[in-house]
Amino acid sequence: MSETKLQSRRLPIYLSGFLIGAMGVYLVTKAKQATAPDFAEVTQTQAPIVMPVGKTVTLRLGDEPEKHLVWGFPTQLMIGKLEEGGRVTPVVRMEYKNLVEKETALGPFATAGDYEIRAQFYTCAYPGEKYCAKIGLVQPVQVRAESANATQATVDVDVKGAAEKASADGKIAEAAAKQKALAPTP
């Protein structure tokens, strides 16, 4: 009989340990949400790049992108081939660790067709900044068997400039909100 009493006591003890662990996870996620930056969305769409088969596109992120791209947020890039009917088949995927260089070569594009480069860059002016930017890039690429444009294709994304603009805009909006809150109501 003492065996069943012991077993009946174990279940609440195990359950309380689970509940304490779940509460800890909940508190950590709430703390992360409270301290997460406010990202202003910036969309960048450029004219299509026309290039021959076998060439690459160079992605330039400006000066010192490793200082401005935010670690821990889903900075990513995808090159997809556009199929008939609007379907996009992923060809290349890159994540944060592949995108922190000043220049990144995308390609070579092995087959002719229409491609699309889609990327999201989460960037802040400095670590701990409250107002940051989320840059959404959409870049059409037309790869042709024979193309007159044989120059090197580049896509420029200024992560530092977007972060500084989002920071300044956020601070201006915050100051305006404080000013409005302090203004006397008639």
- Co-location of 28 and 71 in the same domain: no
| Least confident among 23-37, 120-134, 167-181 | 23-37
Q: Is 148 among the domain residues?
A: yes
Q: What is the total residue count of the chain?
A: 186
Question: Does position 113 have pLDDT exceeding 80, yes or no?
Answer: yes
Question: Does position 36 have pLDDT exceeding 90, yes or no?
Answer: no
Question: Does position 2 have pLDDT exceeding 60, yes or no?
Answer: no
- Co-location of 84 and 9 in the same domain: no
Contact yes or no for 115/139 (Cβ under 8 A): no
Residue whose C-alpha is closest to residue 55's, from 119, 139, 138, 149:
149
Q: Is 180 among the domain residues?
A: no
pLDDT digits (tens, 9 = 90+) for 161-177: 999 999 999 999 888 88
User: 76: left (phi > 0), else alpha (psi -120 to 50), else beta?
Assistant: beta
Q: Is 182 among the domain residues?
A: no
